Each structure stands twice: as structure tokens, then as C-alpha cells.
Amino acid sequence: MSVAPIVLAPGCQYGCTWVNTHFMLVSEMPHGGQKLSGYGKDMSMYGLEDYTVVRHVMVKHS
């Protein structure tokens, strides 16, 4: 395999990179678009992040 895909892929701004393969998805692999494509990530823990908000709650028990 050529080194070019490995070097170029991190600089590309899109959801998936396939080299010598096709549309193969597993539940652990994020799938979806980026930026203004209108699609988020699904089929992975990354998809869950779209529905969560990090919050900090502090309670002083007396």
C-alpha cells in the first residue's frame, strides 16, 4: 500500500476515508458528515455526544 493515503487522510475534512475498500460500517465506527453537510455522527459513541451537554453540579451537604 502506498503511504500517500496515510499521510493525506488526516488533513482532509470529511467523515470517512476508505483505501482499497468500500462502504463497510461496524457499530464502533463513526459514520456521517462534517461541517455544513447537515449530517452528524451516528452508529458510535461520537453520535451520543451530539445529544449530551457537559455540566458541573456542586452540592454542599450539611
pLDDT in tens, 22-60: 777 666 666 666 666 655 566 666 667 777 788 888 888
pLDDT of amino acid 5? 75
Q: What angle do CA 53, 12, 40 make, to 5 degrees?
A: 30
- pTM flag (> 0.85): no
- What is residue 6's predicted lDDT score, i.e. its pLDDT? 75
Q: Are the C-beta atoms of residues 34 and 49 closer than 8 Å to each other?
A: no
pLDDT at 9: 75
Q: What is the pLDDT of residue 57?
A: 81
Please check whether residue 56 is in contact with residue 47, taking contact to mean a CB–CB distance below 8 angstroms. no
